[in-house]
Structure 1
Amino acid sequence: MTATTGTDNGRDDRAELARLLPPATGFALPPGRHEHHRERLMNQIDHDTAAAAARDRAPDRASTRAQGGTPGRTSGWPQAPARPRLLRPSFLAPVAALALAGALVAGYSAQGGGEGPARAGGGASAPERAGDAQPVALVLGRISDAAAKSGAGPVGDDQFVYVRSQVQAGDLTSGKLVTGPPTEREIWYAQQPGPQKKLGFIRQDGETLPINAELGDAEGTREGLHRPTYRWLAALPTDPRQLLDHLTALTPKDEGQEHAQAVFENIGHLIGETVLPPETAAALYRAAALIPGVTEAPDAVDALGRHGVGIAREDTRHATRSEWVFDPEGLAFLGSRTFLTKDTEIGGKGALLDAEAVLKRSVVDEGGVRPQG
Structure 2
Amino acid sequence: MTATTGTDDGQDGRDDRAELARLLPPATGFALSPGRHEHHRERLMHQIDHDTAAASAASAAASASAKDRAPARPRLLRPSLLAPVTALALAGVLVAGYSAQGGPELPVRADSGASASERAGNAQPVALVLGRISDAAAKSGEGPVGDDQFVYVRSQVQGGDLTSGKLVMGPLAEREIWYAQKPGPQKRLGYIREGGETLPINAEFGDTDGTREGISRPTYRWLAALPTDPRRLLDHLTDLTPESEGQEHAQAVFEQIGYLIHETVLPPETAAALYRAAALIPGVTEAPDAVDALGRHGVGIAHEDRGSSTRSEWVFDPESLTLLGSRTFLTADTELGPKGALFDAQAVLKRSVVDEGGVRPQD
Q: Would you say same fold, with TM above 0.5?
A: yes
Superposed, 1:81-120 pairs within 5 Å as 81-89=74-82, 119-120=110-111
Q: Does 1:188 align with 2:178?
A: yes
The residue aligned with 1:288 is 278
Question: Hey, what does 1:311 align to over in structure 2?
Answer: 301
1:257-276 aligned at under 5 Å gives the runs 257-276=247-266
1:54–1:247 distance in 2 versus 1, CA, 3 Å? same
Q: Please, which runs of 5 or more residues in structure 2 have no aligned partner?
A: 1-12, 86-108
1:216-235 alignment runs, 5 A limit? 216-235=206-225
Structure 1 stretch displaced more, 302-311 or 27-36? 27-36
- 2-structure distance, mates of 1:269, 1:250: 14
Alignment of 1:92-241 (within 5 A): 119-122=110-113, 125=116, 129=120, 135-241=125-231
Name the aligned partner's letter for residue 294 of structure 1.
Answer: V
Cα-to-partner distance string for 1:66-116 (whole Å, 9 max, x where unaligned): xxxxxxxx9788442323413325699xxxxxxxxxxxxxxxxxxxxxxxx
Distance 1:167 1:363, change over 3 A: same
2:344 to 354, 357, 361: 354
Q: TM-score, normalization: structure 2? A: 0.81
Alpha-carbon distance change, 76 to 337 in structure 1, aligned in 2, over 3 angstroms: farther
**How big is each residue's C-alpha offset from its partner over 1:138-157, in whole Å with a ceiling of 9 and x where there is no partner?**
11011001101011100000
Q: Alpha-carbon deviation of 1:169? A: 0.8
- Pair 1:21-2:11 in alignment: no
Distance, in Å, in 2 between the alignment partners of 1:305 and 1:173 is: 27
Deviations 1:111-137 (A, max 9, x none): xxxxxxx743357759964996x7111
Structure 2: how far apart are the matches of 1:89 and 1:47? 21
CA pair 30-19 structure 1, distance change in 2 beyond 3 A:
closer
Q: Contact 2:145–2:220 at 8 Å: present in 1 too?
A: yes
More deviation in 32-41 or 209-218?
A: 32-41
Superimposed CA distance per residue, residues 25-66 of structure 1 (whole angstroms, 9 cap, x where no aligned partner): 687654544433333322221122122333444589xxxxxx
Aligned residue identity for 2:228: T
Cα RMSD (Å): 3.0
Cα distance between partner residues in 2 of 1:297 and 1:335: 13
* d(CA) in 1 for partners of 2:84, 2:216: 18
1:80 aligns with 2:73: yes
Separation in 2, partners of 1:175, 1:354: 16
Give the TM-score normalised by the residue count of structure 1.
0.79
Q: Distance in 2 between matches of 1:261 and 1:127?
A: 24
Q: In 2, Cα distance between the equivalents of 1:48 and 1:123? A: 43
Q: Distance in 2 between matches of 1:333 and 1:371?
A: 20
Structure 1 gaps of 5+ residues are 1-10, 61-73, 93-117
C-alpha offsets along residues 185-210 of structure 1, whole Å, 9 cap, x if unaligned? 11110000001000001111122111
Number of matched pairs: 323
**Which residue of structure 1 lines up, in the alignment, with residue 234 of structure 2?**
244
Does the 8 Å contact 2:298/2:317 carry over to 1? yes
CA separation in 2, counterparts of 1:36 and 1:354? Answer: 11
User: Structure 1 stretch 360-369 or stretch 34-43: which is displaced more?
Assistant: 34-43
